[in-house]
């Protein structure tokens, strides 16, 4: 039962997001993954058994494992993004579990923002619905590198290859238009466990792998940008004590590229060039730093660098601009206004932004662009132009999710009102 003590300390981390609609079995699928990878403790299972009986269910309602807050238990719905954890000897998984019905865009965008892989569920009986296309679109907009489309409830269509292939063909045609990086289709029954962890005996015609195997083996280490060196300065370490009298290091998380001591670097906005003298961690100097390492960098020359500055390479610099073309996902009950001013956070840099023009509102069901729109309401997405109070050092979001993303903050309430992805400077 128990493998060696180390066996779960080494594997990679895979972050996944799930999107689903009411009754397409998302909670059951997650419950199944947790249950079969033995993440469910006996006390949790007992609570689920009790609750299943109370609800009159004649099977173990695995969906109850993931319904967290009191209001959700009462109403039988999932309110917000919840995070779940499971591990296999190969990898550790973090699931951002988002509800499919209310606040749909807000929650799914939140979950997808960090995801390496998005699971999209399709009910085999109902086929490709508007909401299926919406899930795929949002995953593509957020540049989730891998999409796993699980055609669920195959048990209810007699495990029909024909049904599955029709759905695969229809959705493939749609995702081909979306610039999705990698799509995998898997026919499953979350309720019965077919092709979730174990290969299904009921679908011998399916030649692919079960979902969990796919999650364990999908190639993610090349998803991060290892070409363009980007180091947003987060914090300046200056001990100012006798032992480290002249020590000054720039702490942060590598957002792109591979950095080594001796590398020529350039700091923005100053434009000064110098070399990396050392890359420090508490465990000592490191030979290389790459995403997503958190390190502290010392430079050969004493430059005036502070939080919000960007360290890059002289011959590979991010774009610098105060005028941006962006996609905005609006999260607030108060609609976005043209001409509105908001706080903006991009990498470790804070600024203010003016929304100059809404170019169009995107209908996330039809992909129609409404160019007559002048505002974005809650959960709407559109393309806009921004002017910021200070230049941002950025890459297009499609090239680097860290240096291409930002949030907008309402300056009166301090709430996060939008997530944004930079298309280009303007």
Partner 1 sequence: MAAGTAQEAILRASTFIRDDMVYSLSHLEALEAESIFIMREAAAELERPVLLFSGGKDSAVLLRLAEKAFRPARFPFPVMHIDTGHNFPEVLAFRDRRMAELGERLIVRRVQDSIDQGRVVEERGPNASRNKLQTVTLLDAIQEFEFDAAFGGARRDEEKARAKERIFSFRDEFGQWDPKNQRPELWNLYNGRIRKGEHVRVFPISNWTEIDVWHYIERERLELPPIYFAHERDVFERQGMLLSVSPYVQLNRGEEPFRAQVRFRTVGDATCTGAVRSAAATIEDVIVETLGFRIGERGMTRADDKFSEAAMEDRKREGYF
Q: CA of 269: how far to CAs of 161, 278, 365, 392, in Å? A: 58, 22, 41, 9
Q: Taking contact as CB under 8 A, which single stretch among the options 20-28, 195-203, 354-362, 418-426 is the one that binds partner 1?
A: 418-426
Residue 42's φ and ψ, nearest 5 degrees, are: -60, -35
β-bridge pairing 117-123 and 146-152 = parallel
Q: How far is the CB of 307 from partner 1 (least distance, A)?
A: 6
Q: What is d(CA 262, CA 360) in angstroms, rounded to the nearest whole number?
A: 47
Q: How far is the CB of 280 from partner 1 (least distance, A)?
A: 9
Return the number of the residue (106 or 361) whose C-beta is nearest partner 1: 106
Residue 114 binds partner 1, judged by CB under 8 A: yes
16 by Cβ neighbours in 10 Å (0-12 / 13-18 / 19+) ranks as: buried
Q: How far is the CB of 162 from partner 1 (least distance, A)?
A: 35
The alpha carbon torsion through 254, 260, 264, 270 (nearest 10 deg) reads 30
Q: How far is the CB of 419 from partner 1 (least distance, A)?
A: 5
Q: How far is the CB of 75 from partner 1 (least distance, A)?
A: 12
Token duo for residue 215: 């999650």
Residue 83 binds partner 1, judged by CB under 8 A: yes
Question: Per CB under 8 A, which of residues 374..403 are in contact with partner 1?
Answer: 396, 398-399, 401-402
Question: Per CB under 8 A, which of residues 174..213 are in contact with partner 1?
Answer: none
Q: How far is the CB of 327 from partner 1 (least distance, A)?
A: 13
Residue 2 binds partner 1, judged by CB under 8 A: yes
Q: What is d(CA 181, CA 400) in angstroms, rounded to the nearest whole number?
A: 14
Residue 313 binds partner 1, judged by CB under 8 A: no
Q: What is d(CA 96, CA 138) in angstroms, rounded to the nearest whole number?
A: 14
Residue given tokens 């729109």 in the structure block: 373
Question: Per CB under 8 A, which of residues 226..285 are in contact with partner 1?
Answer: 226-227, 234-235, 237-241, 243-244, 247, 251-253, 258, 281-282
Residue 9 binds partner 1, judged by CB under 8 A: yes
Q: CA of 104: how far to CAs of 297, 301, 381, in Å? A: 40, 49, 12
Residue 333 binds partner 1, judged by CB under 8 A: no
Return the number of the residue (203 or 344) whose C-beta is nearest partner 1: 344
Residue 330 binds partner 1, judged by CB under 8 A: no
Residue 59 binds partner 1, judged by CB under 8 A: no
Residue 92 binds partner 1, judged by CB under 8 A: yes
Return the number of the residue (253 or 322) whose C-beta is nearest partner 1: 253
Spatial neighbors of 302 by CB under 8 A, at least 6 apart, are: 248
Residue 13 binds partner 1, judged by CB under 8 A: yes
Q: What is d(CA 279, CA 285) in angstroms, rounded to the nearest whole number?
A: 6
Return the number of the residue (293 or 303) whose C-beta is nearest partner 1: 293
Q: Are the C-beta atoms of 164 and 124 separated by less than 8 Å?
A: yes
Return the number of the residue (28 or 405) whose C-beta is nearest partner 1: 405
Intra-chain end-to-end CA distance of the chain, in Å: 59
């Amino acid at each position: 039962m128990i493998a060696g003590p180390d066996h779960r300390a080494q594997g990679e981390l895979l972050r996944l997001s799930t999107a689903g609609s009411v009754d397409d079995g998302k909670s059951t699928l997650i419950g199944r993954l947790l249950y079969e990878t033995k993440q469910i403790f006996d006390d949790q299972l007992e609570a689920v058994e009790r609750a299943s009986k109370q609800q009159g269910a004649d099977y173990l309602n695995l969906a109850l494992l993931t319904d967290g807050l009191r209001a959700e238990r009462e109403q039988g719905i999932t309110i917000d993004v919840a995070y779940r954890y499971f591990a296999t000897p190969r990898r550790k998984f973090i699931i951002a579990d988002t509800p499919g019905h209310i606040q749909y865009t807000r929650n799914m965008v939140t979950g997808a923002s960090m995801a390496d892989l998005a699971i999209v569920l399709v009910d085999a009986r109902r086929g490709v619905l508007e909401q299926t296309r919406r899930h795929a679109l949002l995953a593509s907009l957020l540049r989730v590198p891998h999409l796993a489309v699980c055609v669920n409830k195959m048990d209810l269509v007699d495990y029909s290859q024909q049904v599955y292939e029709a759905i695969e063909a229809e959705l493939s045609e749609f995702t081909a238009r979306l610039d999705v990086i990698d799509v995998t289709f898997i026919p499953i029954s979350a309720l019965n466990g077919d092709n979730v962890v174990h290969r299904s005996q009921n679908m011998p015609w399916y030649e692919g792998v079960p979902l969990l195997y796919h999650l364990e083996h999908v190639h993610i280490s090349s998803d991060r940008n290892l070409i363009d060196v980007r180091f947003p300065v987060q914090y300046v370490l200056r001990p100012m004590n006798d032992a480290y009298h002249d020590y000054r290091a720039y702490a942060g998380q590598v957002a792109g590229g591979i950095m080594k001591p001796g590398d020529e670097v350039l700091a923005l906005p100053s434009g000064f060039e110098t070399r990396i003298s050392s890359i420090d961690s508490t465990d000592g100097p490191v030979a290389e730093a790459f995403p997503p390492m958190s390190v502290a960098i010392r430079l050969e020359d004493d430059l005036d660098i502070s939080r919000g500055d960007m360290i890059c390479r002289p011959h590979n610099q991010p774009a610098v601009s105060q005028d941006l073309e962006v996609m905005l996902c609006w999260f607030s009950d108060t609609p976005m206004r043209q001409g509105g001013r908001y706080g903006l956070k991009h990498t470790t840099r804070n600024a203010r932004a003016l929304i100059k023009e809404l170019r169009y509102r995107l209908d996330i069901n039809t992909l129609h662009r409404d160019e007559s729109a002048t505002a974005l309401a809650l959960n709407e997405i559109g393309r806009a132009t921004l002017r910021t109070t200070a230049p941002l050092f950025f890459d297009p979001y499609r090239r680097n999710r860290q240096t291409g993303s930002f949030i907008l903050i309402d300056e009166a309430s301090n709430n996060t009102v939008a997530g944004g992805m930079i298309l280009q400077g303007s």
